[in-house]
Amino acid sequence: MAIFGVIVNTALAVSKVWGQTGIFGIAAQILPIAMGIAQLAIIASQKIPQFKYGGIVGGGYGGGDKKIIAAEEGEMVIRKEVVRSNRSALEAMNAGEQGMTQINVYLGTKKIHSEITQGIRNKQIHVYKGALSNR
């Protein structure tokens, strides 16, 4: 996207110089062309972020999606509000840590509550210091 913007802006600058100076401004057009080439070189030299092992996409907050990403089948994108409130748990999962990770579950129905209670009784769900596990 940035490369396209530089090309468009360079073309506009060259046409503006042409409009103001005509054929006699060919030498003056060299400066915006050289600046455009320099900007393209800077953009092309930037390292593309790699997320082979996961991680947080940097940038500002708000205003909608601003990053183009590539994802493979089976990968998941999580909303930033969810990441913000569960970042440490997500980072632990991403790192492959086998330790206990706290996950808050809000029990909104009696059915869920009874299923968890029954799972604890049947030893399908284990409670460790107030945390639940199915190990």
- Among 26-30, 88-92, 99-103, 105-109, the range scoring the smallest mean pLDDT is 99-103
Same domain, 61 and 98: yes
Q: Does 97 lie in the same domain as 113?
A: no
- Residue 127 domain boundaries: 105-135
Q: What is the pLDDT of residue 90?
A: 81
- Does position 112 have pLDDT exceeding 60, yes or no? yes
Q: Are residues 88 and 58 in the same domain?
A: yes
Token representation of residue 48: 């593309």
Question: Are 34 and 13 part of one and the same domain?
Answer: yes
| 40 and 61 co-located in one domain | no
> Do 110 and 98 share a structural domain?
no
Q: Do 64 and 97 fall into the same domain? A: yes
Please state, in angstroms and rounded to a whole number, the distance separating the CA atoms of residues 81 and 65: 14
Q: Over 60: is that where the pLDDT of 20 sits? A: yes
Same domain as 113, residue 91: no
Show the CA angle centred on residue 81, arms to residues 77 and 85, nearest 5°. Answer: 105
**Taking 80 as the threshold, does the pLDDT of residue 68 lie above it?**
no
Do 98 and 133 touch, CB atoms closer than 8 A? no
Per-residue confidence (pLDDT) for residue 88, from 0 to 100: 80
**In the chain, pLDDT over 90 holds for what percent of residues?**
6
Q: What's the mean pLDDT when you consider all of the chain?
A: 76
How many domains are there within the chain? 3
> Are residues 110 and 98 located together in one domain of the fold?
no
In this predicted structure, the answer to whether residue 66 has a pLDDT above a threshold of 60 is yes
**3-state DSSP: the chain helix, strand, coil percent, rounded to 5?**
55, 5, 45
Same domain, yes or no, for 96 and 58? yes
Do 71 and 41 reside in the same domain of the chain? no
Question: Is the pLDDT confidence value at 18 over 60?
Answer: yes
The most confident of the ranges 39-43, 63-67, 72-76, 131-135 is 39-43
Residues 11 and 35 in one domain: yes
